[in-house]
Amino acid sequence: MDWPLDYALLTDNFGKNKRGVPVLGMSFAVEGTLTAADAGDLLFVTKESYKASRLPSPLGTWFAVDQGNGMLGIYSRLSDEDIQTLPYRIEQGTPLISTGHSGFSEQEGFHFSLYDRRERQWVNPVKFAPPLQDTRLPSIQQVRMRNNDGGIFTIAPRQRIAQGQWTVYVTVMDLVDSNEHSLAPHSISLLLNGSEFSRLDFETIITHDGMLMVERNGLVPVQKVYAAAPSFELGTVRLTRGQASIEITARDSRGNSRNALFDLVVE
């Protein structure tokens, strides 16, 4: 699979915590003509100006391509221009339609997402498209902990803390080369006393009984992971008196990683 435009500026990526909900594709800021990421048959076409409802649609003008094996490629937030003239059979690399400013777009560009109808899941496009140029490490900006009484604080590399159950929240930012937009990493891990306690992967987000589920040591409703925007909830640890350590590792899709270690004195 190719990217619909290989010179576009990535503004939001799959799995990013945007106002408490996950981004289910890739958003780009660019002006130009999109090309087909992969071959397939045209399934759906919606022109924003033809909507019967006056309610705004997050997709705006969009179309979907059946790419085979149950995979849909969804191109959205486009220009109304020539949307009705798209060919039924689309070949990879074929010029298709202009970028636009429709739907929930904040600037000229487009949004691209993949949906697997067989597995009922949204798929991170970086699993299939060429890797984006990226030599920069993710940034672990903040690690917070909340106890059962609702008390919450930011932990330091050396920290005294009361024993009990603590929920861990992590704010991570990833940047790709020539881009200052805050993006999500590809995965975040939490190690407790040297052993992996939880791992949050941004490869797929599954739809189950009308609910979005994300992989974090098993499927978890997105509300349990994304509620504390822009942070991610990594789970609840139980700390007993003595010494303990928490280590956070963030990795991007190119394998660049960053660690943050916190030594705790549990009282």
The per-residue pLDDT of the chain, averaged, comes to 91
Question: pLDDT per residue over 137-177, tens digit each?
Answer: 999 999 999 998 878 899 999 999 999 999 999 999 998 87
Q: What is the mean pLDDT of residues 200-224?
A: 94
Where along the chain do the CATH 2.60.40.10 domains lie?
A: 139-266
Q: Where in the chain is the domain with CATH 2.70.70.10?
A: 9-127
Write out the two tokens for 148.
Answer: 């059962």
CATH superfamily for 9-127 is Glucose Permease (Domain IIA) (2.70.70.10)
The Cα–Cα gap between 130 and 23 comes to 20
CATH for 139-266?
2.60.40.10
Residue 65, token pair as written in the block: 């391509």
Give the Cα-Cα-Cα angle 47, 48, 50 (nearest 5 degrees). 70
pLDDT in tens, 75-98: 999 988 878 889 999 999 999 999
Region of residue 113 (left: phi > 0; alpha: psi -120 to 50; beta: else): beta
Rounded to 10 degrees, the C-alpha dihedral 13/32/38/253 comes to -30
pLDDT band at 52 (very low <50, low <70, confident <90, very high): low
This prediction's pTM: 0.91
Cβ-proximal residues to 50 (8 Å cutoff; 6+ apart), any chain: none
